[in-house]
């Protein structure tokens, strides 16, 4: 009861009693493998024998080609990118193209359940959300559209799918000591979910790196990002249609 009252009081003033997850212990995959992580995530090539003819390209999405990506990739020059919430892969494919123009070849790890956020399940007539899930026997199949889009754009050498929840993927990254120069948060828009993503992924940003997010106009996103930044003594910077937090250099 007391904990609940304290939590309510802290939230009312814009704070949380949650703590950032403890630092990653020494002895990580970073020291052993500076190359791709795909082999740790998948037992084989996930793109092998994909039925591409069954899935014409469909890159429908939101904010996928934002100029913010171009500016941030040029600023950070990432060797690894983690995207949390990828939908049909539009932003990951755009980042892959920007990286190539900059002469970079980062592995872009796309974390998503491909099951859709809350708003995807509230209107069964919405062609951009519920219907775009392309449910088969009641289960979404949009993951395969993502895979097809990556292949259509010849980005499979850079983009690695990680079909998992943001929380479990974050724990997996910690277990292997995986960090990234750029982490893009674009999953659930619910305040608690966004805050949980920030807790899970902030420590995975390398010093000097950037955590960037989408959908600043959503109340849940804006409240969670502002609260987290205040608690960490950080400044939220808005860039085009995105917002970001910069990790101090070591």
The CATH code of the domain that includes 195 is 3.40.50.150
Q: Residues of 45-58 as b/e, b for ≥16 C-beta within 10 angstroms?
A: ebbeebeeeebeeb
Under 8 Å between Cβ of 160 and 62:
no
Residue 137 falls within a domain, yes or no? no
Q: For the chain, what is the domain count?
A: 1
Residue 62 falls within a domain, yes or no? yes
User: Is pLDDT larger for residue 30 or for residue 109?
Assistant: 109
Mean pLDDT of 82-102: 96
pTM attached to this predicted model: 0.86
Whole-angstrom distance, CA of residue 109 vs CA of residue 106? 9
pLDDT at 155 over 70: yes
Under 8 Å between Cβ of 181 and 209:
yes
Range of the domain at 155: 58-113+148-246
Q: How confident is the model at residue 6 (pLDDT cuts 50, 70, 90)?
A: low
Annotate 96-136 with DSSP letters as a single string: HHHHHHTT---EEEEEE-SS--GGGGS-TT-TTTTGGG--B
Residue 201 falls within a domain, yes or no? yes
Q: How many residues does the chain have?
A: 250
- State residue 26's pLDDT score: 38
Give 8-55 pLDDT, tens digit per residue: 455 555 555 555 455 444 345 554 444 589 999 999 999 999 999 999
Here the tokens at position 10 are: 């802290």
Under 8 Å between Cβ of 42 and 68:
no
Alpha carbon 151 to chain centroid, angstroms: 20
């Amino acid at each position: 009861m007391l904990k609940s009252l304290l939590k309510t009081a802290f939230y009312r003033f814009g704070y949380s009693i949650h703590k950032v997850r403890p630092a990653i212990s020494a002895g990580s995959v970073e020291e052993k493998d500076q190359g791709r992580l795909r082999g740790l995530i998948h037992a084989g090539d996930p793109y092998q024998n994909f039925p591409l003819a069954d899935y014409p390209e469909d890159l429908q999405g939101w904010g996928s080609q934002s100029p913010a990506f171009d500016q941030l990739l040029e600023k950070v020059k990432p060797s690894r990118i983690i995207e949390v919430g990828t939908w049909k892969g539009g932003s990951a494919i755009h980042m892959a193209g920007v990286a190539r123009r900059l002469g970079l070849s980062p592995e872009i790890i796309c974390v998503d359940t491909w099951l859709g956020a809350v708003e995807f399940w509230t209107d069964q007539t919405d062609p951009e959300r519920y219907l775009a899930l392309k449910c088969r026997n009641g289960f979404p199949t949009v993951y395969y559209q993502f895979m097809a889009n990556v292949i259509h754009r010849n980005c499979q050498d850079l983009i690695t799918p990680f079909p998992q929840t943001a929380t479990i993927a974050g724990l997996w990254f910690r277990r292997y000591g995986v960090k990234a120069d750029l982490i893009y948060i674009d999953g659930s828009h619910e305040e608690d979910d966004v805050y949980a993503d920030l807790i899970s992924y902030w420590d995975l940003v390398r010093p000097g790196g950037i955590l960037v997010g989408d959908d600043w106009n959503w109340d849940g996103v804006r409240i969670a990002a502002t609260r987290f930044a205040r608690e960490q003594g950080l400044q939220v910077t808005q860039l085009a249609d995105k917002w970001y937090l910069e990790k101090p250099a070591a």
